[in-house]
């Protein structure tokens, strides 16, 4: 009799557990405009060393992929400075870490942090990827991210904080989506955007694809290439988003090449002050470089702090006029304004993300290069909850069957 009385309770508990587990996943692809990525803004306070490797510090939710020395692709050409067959002369695994606004404001598109990686004096092929599950098959998705590259041969010629590339060669920047959720960047399933240069300024890269399963994977890609060595070969990434844009067939060859917004024409005011109107890719640092105004003077002219966030269309005074009141100098580093993500006109609105657990990737062909590590398994807590729910359902079914007899 006790078992009979427990049957409704067991069924209710099992249903609640199942709904709790399914709710986050069911909502991912149902809300157009919602950012499905974990830490798309690269603002998480704590980053981790991937696989325990101290040179691979990655934002949560993301993983680094890279081509190691023993996996160099056949299209890579040995540069003229290497007269040895040892690939270590010209190739290396890049180092991944965060770029912090306090030290390098020109390397952060928005907020306090961006992801960076670089190879020093040698070439690389690498990027980031993130696998997202709970996607509605046939949903059309758009992946967008801002990227910037820097190549420097003579550090003294590259300006303060590496503000310019003195000898840019090739970086082969692009982004992609695997609509089947695989984690091999060299898979034929990956749909790539066109390549586009982005030396010394932020460019938004985008690509669309139609999901073919309940999981998709987004990728970034770079490959430093030159005939004689560049000391610095850096890539910076910020403000990534994956959003549902509709149903139906997506562009099969990637979205059109990203558009570089031309510099705005400065607007003079009646008092003689010169004003710059903020565009989608502008930062305080890029504006200071554009007009030859020191970064600190620009902050003082506009009563801003180093943590201030620009909005598209915002007027920025770059030259004081006759009636312009210049605020008194104050310690800018102690400002307490809270950063908030601006919404570029060409990108979906960023929204709080839901923590997801990636699926195991499909096995790559035996002859394929293996530059990436597999995604994480389901967490132990999730597996335990699933097991408990299954056991409760089985018990309830057995008791109900005996009751009928």
Same fold, 32-259+346-372 and 270-334: no
pLDDT at 140: 95
184 confidence band (pLDDT: 50, 70, 90): very high
Average pLDDT of the residues in 76-84: 89
pLDDT at 153: 92
Cα 118 to chain center, whole Å? Answer: 16
Q: Has residue 39 got a pLDDT over 70?
A: yes
Phi, psi (degrees; rounded to nearest 5) at 222: -145, 150
Give the CATH architecture of domain 270-334. Roll (3.10)
Q: Tens digits of per-residue pLDDT, 138-157?
A: 999 999 999 999 999 998 89
Sketch the domain layout of the chain as residue ranges: 2-25+381-404, 32-259+346-372, 270-334
Average pLDDT of the residues in 104-126: 96
Average pLDDT of the residues in 4-20: 54
pLDDT at 384: 63
Closest to 22 (Cα-Cα) out of 157, 214, 194: 214
Give the CATH architecture of domain 32-259+346-372. Sandwich (2.60)
Q: Could you tell me what percent of the chain has a pLDDT over 90?
A: 49
Average pLDDT of the residues in 4-10: 54
Parallel/antiparallel/unpaired status of strands 113-120 and 48-49: unpaired
pLDDT at 382: 54
**In a 10 Å sphere around its CB, with 0-12 CB exposed, 13-18 middle and 19+ buried, how is residue 129 labelled?**
buried
118 confidence band (pLDDT: 50, 70, 90): very high
Instruction: Give the CA angle between residues 242, 247, 253 to the nearest 5°.
Output: 65
Q: Tens digits of per-residue pLDDT, 317-368?
A: 988 877 655 554 444 333 333 444 443 433 333 333 333 333 333 333 333 3
């Amino acid at each position: 009799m006790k078992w009979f009385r427990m049957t409704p309770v067991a069924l209710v508990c099992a249903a609640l557990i199942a709904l709790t587990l399914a709710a986050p996943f069911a909502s991912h692809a149902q809300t157009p405009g919602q950012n499905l990525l974990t830490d798309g803004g690269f603002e998480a306070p704590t980053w981790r060393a991937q696989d325990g490797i101290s040179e691979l510090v990655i934002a949560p939710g993301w993983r680094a992929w890279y081509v190691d020395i023993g996996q160099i692709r056949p299209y890579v050409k040995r540069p003229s400075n290497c007269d040895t067959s040892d690939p270590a002369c010209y190739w290396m695994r890049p180092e991944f870490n965060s770029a912090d606004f306090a030290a390098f404001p020109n390397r952060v598109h928005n907020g306090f942090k961006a992801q960076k990686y670089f190879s020093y004096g040698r070439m690389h092929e690498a990027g980031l990827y993130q696998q997202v599950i709970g996607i509605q098959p046939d949903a059309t998705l758009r992946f967008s991210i801002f990227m910037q590259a820097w190549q420097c041969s003579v550090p003294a010629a590259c300006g303060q904080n590496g503000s310019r590339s003195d000898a840019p060669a090739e970086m082969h920047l692009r982004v992609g989506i695997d609509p089947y959720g695989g984690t091999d960047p060299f898979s034929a399933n990956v749909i790539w955007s066109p390549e586009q240069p982005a030396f010394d300024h932020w460019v938004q890269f985008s690509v669309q694809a139609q999901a073919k399963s309940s999981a998709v994977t987004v990728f970034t890609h770079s490959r430093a290439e030159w005939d004689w060595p560049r000391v610095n070969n850096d890539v910076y990434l910020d403000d990534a988003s994956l959003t549902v844009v509709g149903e139906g067939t997506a562009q099969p060859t990637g979205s059109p090449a990203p558009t570089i917004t031309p510099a705005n024409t400065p607007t003079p005011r009646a008092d003689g002050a010169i004003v710059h109107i903020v565009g989608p890719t502008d930062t305080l640092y890029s504006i200071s470089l554009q007009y030859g105004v020191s970064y600190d003077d620009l902050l003082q002219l506009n009563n801003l702090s180093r943590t201030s966030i620009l909005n598209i269309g915002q007027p920025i005074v770059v030259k004081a006029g006759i009636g312009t009141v210049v605020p008194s100098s104050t310690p800018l580093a102690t400002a307490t304004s809270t950063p908030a993500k601006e919404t570029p006109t060409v990108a979906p609105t960023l929204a709080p993300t839901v923590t997801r657990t990636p699926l195991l990737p499909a096995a790559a062909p035996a002859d394929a290069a293996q530059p990436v590590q597999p995604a994480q398994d389901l967490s132990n807590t999730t597996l335990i909850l699933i097991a408990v729910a299954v056991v409760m359902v089985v018990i309830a079914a057995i008791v109900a069957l005996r009751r009928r007899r």
